Amino acid sequence: MPRPANPEIRNRLLIDGGHVIHRSGFNGSGVQDIVAAAEVPKGSFYSYFDSKEAFAAEVLEGYWESIEQRHGRVMYDAPLTPLARIEKLFELMVADHAAQDFRIGCLVGNLSLEVSNTSGVVRTALERILARWEGMITASLDEAKVRQELPADCDTAQLASVIIEAWEGAVLRSKVERNGEACRRFQQVTLKRLLY
């Protein structure tokens, strides 16, 4: 009779192994690297995940849930205007990248570039995350439109997509240059021009 799954081991694989994927990339991380980081036997990996791609998809979901838990509440901060909430969200996200010296980038962007052409499972997870992210920003943009802080004809869903696309480009460049200049330009120039 097989042993029951251990949620603590699964969690260690997702967190510690997820850090490996984030730092070294999907293709730069083998299952051996993932299990070594989590300090579990290699055979345990396939007891919890059907494939490395399925593992990466769950790591992505956990990464985005962490961002939502830590920063998502700012999007419902009533004392801030809807547009100020969006600015605050990205301010918090820049701080996350600064804490890593702008070296590892955004896992959503990293895996979009690295795996989305080769893994339908990862691409589907990325699509879900982008839709949630766009939905969060669109809701604030819709509120800004009601408050007449944006033009009545503003396509808020499209604007939310453009904001995310510009952000991901800035994070990618910050990762290459290992500094926050591109993220600061996004905040001080791109986001301001898109919102105001």
Q: Please tell me the distance from the alpha carbon of residue 171 to that of residue 150, in angstroms, as a whole number.
A: 26
Contact 190, 166 (CB under 8 A): yes
Residue at which a domain ends, from 16, 31, 49: 49
107-165 confidence digits (pLDDT tens)? 999 999 999 999 999 999 999 999 999 999 999 999 999 999 999 999 999 999 999 99
Total domains, the chain: 2
Report the chain's terminal Cα–Cα distance, integer Å.
63
Which residue range forms the structural domain that includes residue 15?
A: 1-49
CATH number at residue 37: 1.10.10.60
Residues 66 and 137 in one domain: yes
Note the pTM of the prediction, 2 decimals: 0.93
Of 31, 30, 34, residue with least CA distance to 16: 34
Residues 74 and 29 in one domain: no
CATH number at residue 87: 1.10.357.10
Residue with tokens 């992505």: 60
Residues 81 and 42 in one domain: no
